[in-house]
């Protein structure tokens, strides 16, 4: 089959790779009908040292079940399934605690010999715990919104949940990428009254307003902090959803958070250390968040996608075939596209 490989900074190729085969009785083989390019894929696209053998890539996908191992009970050949960005048994103590990122029998796509999502097919370990059977066809018009449930919407939702956003909350969302916009949508869905979106790309912040942002702050750095504080009586917001993952975004988060408030980080950190100094201590700032347990949130969010309450699929503004995945990376990297849908 054909699949996407990354060879280094700016070097993504679609090449022939071995077809997936069942390796354990809990596996399923899924023919991929849609995949996405994720903002976190761009971290490697921007910074990875060259490698001689390309690495598989992609962790957001859906498809049709082609085969199942002997122990798989919840899906069968022909089922249309959504695949979360982590595979999990959905039954260990960590999963039962809603912490699927720490699943005792789970892991990440495109690692340790596993397929990535940006290819024609994938072997799915722990199929019963991982796959969500969809009640719609693989080409249903709602599919782009369903695809947002593989990663970005649950990730934005995780930011809002872990930052304890609720009815009447005042929230700052840092970043107008797909995760930031998902965080806006999630905060609005949870009842936030005021949602300040920090972003400077007009098309994105306009979509952010449609998703529920009440204010947009296009400034950066200290000017952004001053603007958010000006909007909030000088004190900042009790809830900050940090959806970028670099040091500048973390500093902005510390600048806009109200004393006693919470910063939830859902942008994969591109730093090893961050400021947790006397000032952060005296202000009683809480840092929370982390990798989202998408599998836990999908049933609840899927119901609202299917009944039309939310339409996160509006984020996809470019659709490419498998051979054009490299062009999709380029478009996202150059900020010409917000979120790329792949149709293998």
Q: Please report, as ranges, the residues that interact with a second copy according to CB under 8 A.
A: 94, 97, 99, 101-102, 162, 250, 259-260, 265, 268-269, 271-278, 280-291
- State in angstroms the smallest separation of the CB of 44 from a second copy: 13
Nearer CB in complex with a second copy: 147/285: 285
Nearer CB in complex with a second copy: 273/307: 273
**Structure token digits, residue 85:** 């960005």
- State in angstroms the smallest separation of the CB of 80 from a second copy: 30
Cβ pair 185, 212 in contact under 8 A: yes
Residues 6+ away with beta carbon under 8 Å from 307: none
Nearer CB in complex with a second copy: 138/274: 274
- State in angstroms the smallest separation of the CB of 177 from a second copy: 17
Q: What is the SS3 assignment for 91?
A: coil
Helix axes 247-256, 221-231, angle to 10 degrees: 30
- Between CA 232 and CA 285 the distance in angstroms is 17
Burial of 277 (0-12, 13-18, 19+ CB in 10 A): exposed
- State in angstroms the smallest separation of the CB of 272 from a second copy: 4
- State in angstroms the smallest separation of the CB of 94 from a second copy: 6
Q: How many residues does the chain have?
A: 344
Nearer CB in complex with a second copy: 104/133: 104
Residues 6+ away with beta carbon under 8 Å from 143: 34, 62, 136, 313
Nearer CB in complex with a second copy: 221/260: 260
- State in angstroms the smallest separation of the CB of 241 from a second copy: 14
Nearer CB in complex with a second copy: 22/103: 103
Nearer CB in complex with a second copy: 130/162: 162
- Between CA 318 and CA 320 the distance in angstroms is 7
- Between CA 336 and CA 149 the distance in angstroms is 22
- State in angstroms the smallest separation of the CB of 89 from a second copy: 15
- State in angstroms the smallest separation of the CB of 148 from a second copy: 21
Nearer CB in complex with a second copy: 65/163: 163
**Closest residue by Cα to residue 176 from 225, 209, 142:** 209
**Structure token digits, residue 228:** 């958010």
Cα-based distances in Å from 100 to 7, 30, 91, 108, 322: 29, 21, 9, 11, 29
Burial of 111 (0-12, 13-18, 19+ CB in 10 A): exposed
């Amino acid at each position: 089959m054909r699949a996407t490989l990354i060879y280094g900074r700016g070097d993504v190729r679609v090449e022939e790779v071995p077809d997936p085969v069942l390796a354990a009785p809990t596996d399923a083989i899924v023919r991929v009908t849609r995949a996405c390019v994720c903002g976190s894929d761009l971290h490697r696209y921007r910074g990875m040292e060259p490698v001689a053998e390309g690495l598989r890539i992609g962790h957001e996908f859906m498809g049709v079940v082609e085969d199942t191992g002997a122990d798989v009970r919840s899906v069968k050949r022909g089922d249309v399934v959504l695949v979360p960005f982590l595979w999990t048994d959905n039954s260990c103590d960590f999963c039962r605690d809603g912490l699927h990122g720490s699943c005792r029998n789970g892991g990440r796509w495109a690692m340790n010999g596993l397929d990535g999502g940006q290819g024609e097919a994938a072997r799915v370990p722990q199929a019963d715990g991982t796959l969500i059977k969809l009640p719609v066809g693989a080409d249903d018009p709602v599919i782009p919104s369903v695809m947002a449930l593989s990663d970005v919407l649950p990730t934005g939702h995780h930011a809002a949940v872990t930052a304890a956003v609720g009815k009447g909350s005042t929230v700052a969302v840092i970043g107008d990428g797909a995760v930031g916009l998902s965080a806006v949508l999630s905060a609005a869905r949870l009842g936030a009254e005021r949602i300040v979106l920090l972003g400077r790309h007009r098309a994105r912040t306009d979509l952010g307003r449609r998703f529920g942002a009440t204010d947009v702050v296009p400034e950066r750095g200290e000017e952004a902090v001053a603007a958010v504080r000006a909007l909030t009586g000088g004190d900042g917001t009790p809830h900050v959803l940090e959806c970028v993952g670099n040091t500048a975004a973390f500093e902005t988060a510390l600048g806009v958070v109200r004393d006693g408030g919470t910063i939830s980080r859902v942008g994969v950190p591109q730093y090893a250390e961050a400021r947790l100094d006397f000032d952060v201590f005296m202000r009683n700032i809480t840092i929370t968040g982390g990798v989202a347990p998408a599998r836990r949130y999908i049933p609840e969010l899927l119901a609202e996608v299917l009944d039309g309450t939310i339409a996160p699929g509006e984020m996809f503004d470019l659709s490419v075939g498998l051979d054009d995945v490299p062009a999709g990376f380029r478009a996202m990297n150059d900020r010409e596209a917000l979120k790329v849908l792949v149709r293998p």
